[in-house]
Each structure stands twice: as structure tokens, then as C-alpha cells.
Amino acid sequence: MSGTGISTPDLTDDHAGARALELQWRNFGGIAAFGGAAVTVKCFEDNSLVKSLVQEPGEGRVIVVDGGGSLRRALLGDMLGADAVKNGWAGLVIRGAVRDVDELATMALGVKALGCCPRKTDKRGEGQQDVPVSIGGVIISPGDYVYADNNGVIASPEPLL
């Protein structure tokens, strides 16, 4: 789900099981507050799996990418962002970098990342999908629920809205 009905402070106040990802996130998308069921990716400086995922039906889900925290290569840019919008993804949470930030900011897509970098990744076909990822002290499993706004990113094994 995306939209202004998401407040991570309110969700953490109301749900003891909500876990905050303890990182300083930056908002790069045109939608600041978003949430949905997680599809997880673990990759390092290779966005091959992200590229294939955004071309699938998103059904309001959120792609959670553990990019190892690297700011040397961007795991998302304007072309993949446009595919994500077209295919109905609510957003992406990326422990890593993005690029084409001016274009991403105009898209109806939530994008939280650690930073930006102009360099694209190599496409080596590496990484794992639908595996538990550990981001900011929180383990996120496929199908967990992720919510994000300008206050941060939280996760829960159950829907909070």
C-alpha cells in the first residue's frame, strides 16, 4: 500500500512487534510514505535481480535490497524505477545507492536508500532472491511487511495496517 496513511512513528507506538531498521535513510522517490509485503534481494554491486524483479507484477509489494551498504554502484536508476511504477510496485528499500535521483523524485514510487552514486552496476547475474536479509539490525524475511516514511523504515512479520 502506498499513500499518506502510513506513519512509522504511529505504527511503532501501536504495534510492539514493529522493528525499526536502524539506519539513516534518504528518500529518493516521488512517494515518501509507502508499504507492502516484502520481496527480498541480496546482492553486491550487481542489480541483475532487481532488474528482473521490477519487470514482474509488483501487486503493491516492496522490494527490499540488501546491497551490502555499498555506495560505489547504484542498484536502481530511472529506467528500472519506471519499470517498477509500470508494474505496480509500491517501492524499494535499498541498503546501498541509487542514481538518476532527479528522475526518481518525479515517479509515483517509494524509494529509500542510503545514498546515491552515478555509476551503474555490472550485470554478472549474481545475488539471491527470496532469502532473509539483515538490514539495520532487523532480519526481513520474504513476505514480511515493510513500511517507510520520512521518519524511517520498519518491518513486521504481520501486516500493521
Q: Look at residue 86 in the predicted model and tell me its pLDDT.
A: 98
Taking CA atoms, 129 is separated from 19, 41, 151, 156, in Å, by: 22, 4, 27, 19
99 is in an annotated binding site: yes
Mean pLDDT of 28-40: 98
Contact call for residues 113 and 96 (beta carbons, < 8 A): yes
Q: Beta strands 110-116 and 91-98: pairing type?
A: parallel
17 is in an annotated binding site: no
161 is in an annotated binding site: no
79 is in an annotated binding site: yes
Name all domains of the chain by residue range, CATH numbers in brackets.
19-155 (3.50.30.40)
122 is in an annotated binding site: no
Q: How confident is the model at residue 4 (pLDDT cuts 50, 70, 90)?
A: low
Tens digit of each residue's pLDDT (9 = 90 or more) over 57-81: 999 999 999 999 999 999 999 999 9
19 is in an annotated binding site: no
Contact partners, residue 58, CB within 8 Å, separation at least 6: 84, 87, 88, 89, 90
- Is residue 2 predicted with pLDDT exceeding 50? no
Collapsed DSSP state (helix, strand, coil) of residue 124: coil
- Rounded Cα distance between 71 and 75, Å, is 9
